[in-house]
Amino acid sequence: MKKQNLILIGMPGAGKSTIGVLLAKRLGVAFLDTDILMQTGEGCYLQETIAEHGINGFRSIEESYLLAVPPDCGVVATGGSAVYSEKAMAHLRSLGPAVYLMIGLEALKERLGNLDERGVLRMPGQTIDMLFEERRFLYRRFADITVSTEGVTPDQVVTGVLQQL
């Protein structure tokens, strides 16, 4: 199987990090989680970056990390808000296909728990329902491949992704 970069997009809690590690193992490539890259680079948790720099500041910082993803990145799990940057998504999709890991709203609510503790980027007063509605169109727009993560095992998701490549 030829080595291939894959860019995973989707809501927080959709399984990007979990599926990303499994895909990287199956493909024999590196795995990069841009949320961890950003936390390491900034020296703090995502929610602290949001609190310190605000939503626009966070997006700007996130974009700089996304634009720095190298050509031999392997499988990349992006932060759920990566799709707000046209520039970053153009760069990432130049490296490999964007795989939208899709999850339904109810399943998402079960998985997510506290949005603030998780460092989910959203406007003040924006509910998970509102965020889901806003982002799902962006995910669809940038997706080259879409695979549901709902009601299936991580291995089944990986198989679904590989079948569509």
Question: How do residues 51-71 score in pLDDT, each as one tens digit?
Answer: 899 999 999 999 999 999 999
Give the burial class of 109: count Cβ atoms within 10 A of its Cβ; 0-12 exposed, 13-18 middle, 19 or more buried. middle
Q: Which strands, in side-by-side order, build the sheet including 145-148?
A: 31-33, 75-77, 6-9, 98-102, 145-148
Is the pTM higher than 0.85? The answer reads yes
CATH classification of the domain holding 37: 3.40.50.300
- Mean pLDDT for the chain? 92
Average pLDDT estimate for 108-129 = 78
* pLDDT at residue number 127: 86
Average pLDDT estimate for 118-132 = 82
- Rg of the chain, C-alpha, whole Å: 15
65 occurs within a structural domain: yes
Q: Which of helix, strand or coil describes residue 73?
A: coil
What's the pLDDT band for 159 if we cut at 50, 70, 90? very high
94 occurs within a structural domain: yes
1 occurs within a structural domain: no
Instruction: Please check the confidence at residue 118 and state whether its pLDDT lies above 90.
Output: no
Distance between CA 109 and CA 28 in Å, rounded?
33
Instruction: Please check the confidence at residue 9 and state whether its pLDDT lies above 70.
Output: yes
Instruction: Please check the confidence at residue 27 and state whether its pLDDT lies above 70.
Output: yes
Average pLDDT estimate for 101-106 = 94
Q: Is the dihedral of CA 26, 36, 79, 90 positive or negative?
A: negative
Which residue range is the domain that position 38 belongs to? 6-164
Q: What's the structural domain count of the chain?
A: 1
Instruction: Please check the confidence at residue 3 and state whether its pLDDT lies above 70.
Output: no
